[in-house]
């Protein structure tokens, strides 16, 4: 009898301990579920992975919108196709995300899908590039660079550089490697340069073609420019990666980029500083990609019910080759 009672006690104790353990485990898992439920879900419709700038931009979002900071990020790479971004946004709406962030490939064609997001009550924050719409209530805020000003800055730098070289009265032949046609970065930079050209009647824009913001297409287009024109003085590449492609094409044609042909890029990525230090590139006009924390700040304000500024420009600089060696280590992207 004693043995039976002893056995029963052992069983009861075991059951009690199992119960306690289960409760603790249930509590712990409930804790993580509750925490997960508290996360702010952000869908990011990214352009693609076409450039160093874009990679830095993606990393900026992926390191900001993490669980430790209270977010769950759903990231979509549209491979430079607007139709993929539209699909991604519809998926975000279906998943009932809290916010949609869009870096639009091109400026036009957003009314319908962003109207759907508005209808679903999901705020849309534009980052990097802009959209061209008649009703700006379909987005909550935009943060990015001033692309027209970047074009003006490129012209001002070239003007000063030519004066320094005593070439201000020479005919200066220019070609432009344009970004993705219809993207704000292309539209703004092309427009910024265009607006200032009449102030320089001795500058001739020989040609413009898109290199789609990629190094390989930039190289391909530059090769064809070099076949068509034997007197190019300046290449304006609407991003650094296309400038790198142009540099390769110029070297392959037996010329010295940075010396025989002036190379202007946009973005000011680290690799441009390396190209400037190597003497291959003359200047890079900054376009800052680190928008993750800026968008997070907007979301935090919205969460608190605060007002946010609709249009937020980021400060950007101009980095000529002479500054590259000193500044390269301080560059964050």
Q: Which residues contribute to the site for ligand AHR (CB under 6 A)? A: 50-51, 53-54, 128-129, 185, 213, 239, 266-267, 287
- Whether 268 and 241 have beta carbons less than 8 Å apart is answered as no
> 50 vs 38, 58, 83, 180, 242, CA distance in Å?
34, 11, 17, 10, 10
Q: How far is the CB of 131 from ligand AHR (least distance, A)?
A: 13
The nearest distance, CB 287 to ligand AHR, in angstroms, is 5
CB of 212: closest distance to ligand AHR in angstroms? 9
CB of 267 to ligand AHR, least distance (A): 5
Complex with ligand AHR: residue 213 or 225, whichever CB lies closer: 213
Q: Are 322 and 314 in contact (CB under 8 A)?
A: no
- Residue (98 or 219) nearer to ligand AHR, CB: 219
Q: Shortest gap between Cβ of 303 and ligand AHR (angstroms)?
A: 27
For residue 182, give the nearest of 149, 212, 152 by alpha carbon: 212
Region of 48 on the Ramachandran plot (φ > 0 left; ψ -120 to 50 alpha; else beta): left
Burial (CB < 10 A; 0-12, 13-18, 19+), residue 102, is: buried
Q: Which is nearer to ligand AHR, 142 or 266 (CB)?
A: 266
CA 75, 79, 81, 87 torsion-angle sign: negative
Closest by Cα among 140, 133, 92, 132 to 116: 92
The distance of closest approach from Cβ of residue 182 to ligand AHR in the complex, given in angstroms and rounded to an integer, is 12
Number of Cα atoms under 13 Å in the Cβ half of residue 49: 6
Q: Does an H or E element contain 46, and which? A: strand 40-46
- Closer to ligand AHR by Cβ: residue 129 or 152: 129
* 233 or 294: CB nearest ligand AHR: 294
The CB-of-175 to ligand AHR minimum distance in angstroms stands at: 18
Q: Which of 213, 145, 134, 206 is nearest to 176 (CA)?
A: 206
* Residue number, 172 or 193, with CB nearest to ligand AHR: 193
When the beta carbons of 58 and 282 are compared against ligand AHR, the nearer one is: 58
């Amino acid at each position: 009898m004693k043995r039976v009672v002893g056995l029963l006690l052992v069983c009861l104790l075991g059951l009690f301990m199992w119960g306690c353990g289960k409760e603790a485990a249930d509590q712990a898992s409930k804790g993580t579920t509750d925490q997960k439920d508290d996360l702010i879900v952000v869908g990011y419709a990214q352009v693609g992975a076409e450039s160093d700038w874009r990679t830095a931009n993606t990393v900026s979002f992926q390191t900001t919108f993490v669980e430790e900071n209270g977010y769950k990020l759903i990231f979509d790479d549209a491979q430079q196709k607007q139709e993929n971004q539209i699909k991604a946004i519809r998926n975000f709406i279906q998943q009932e995300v809290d916010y949609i962030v869009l870096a639009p490939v091109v400026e036009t064609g957003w009314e319908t899908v962003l109207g759907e997001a508005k209808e679903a009550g999901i705020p849309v924050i534009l980052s990097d590039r802009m959209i061209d719409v008649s009703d700006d209530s379909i987005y909550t805020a935009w943060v990015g660079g001033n692309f027209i000003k970047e074009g003006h800055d490129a012209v001002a730098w070239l003007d000063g550089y030519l004066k320094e070289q005593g070439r201000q009265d020479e005919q200066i032949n220019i070609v432009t490697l344009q970004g993705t046609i219809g993207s704000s970065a292309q539209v703004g930079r092309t427009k910024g340069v265009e607006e200032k050209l009449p102030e320089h009647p001795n500058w001739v824009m020989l040609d413009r073609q898109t290199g789609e913001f990629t190094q390989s297409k930039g190289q391909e287009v530059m090769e064809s420019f070099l076949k068509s024109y034997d007197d190019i003085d300046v290449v304006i590449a609407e991003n650094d990666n296309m400038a790198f492609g142009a540099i390769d094409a110029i070297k392959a044609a037996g010329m010295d980029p940075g010396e025989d042909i002036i190379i202007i890029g946009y973005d000011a990525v680290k690799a441009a500083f390396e190209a400037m230090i190597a003497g291959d590139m003359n200047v890079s006009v900054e376009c800052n990609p680190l928008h993750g924390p800026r968008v997070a700040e907007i979301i935090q304000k919205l969460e608190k019910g605060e007002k946010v500024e609709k249009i937020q420009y980021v400060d950007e600089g101009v980095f000529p080759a002479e500054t590259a060696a000193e500044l390269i280590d301080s560059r964050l992207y």
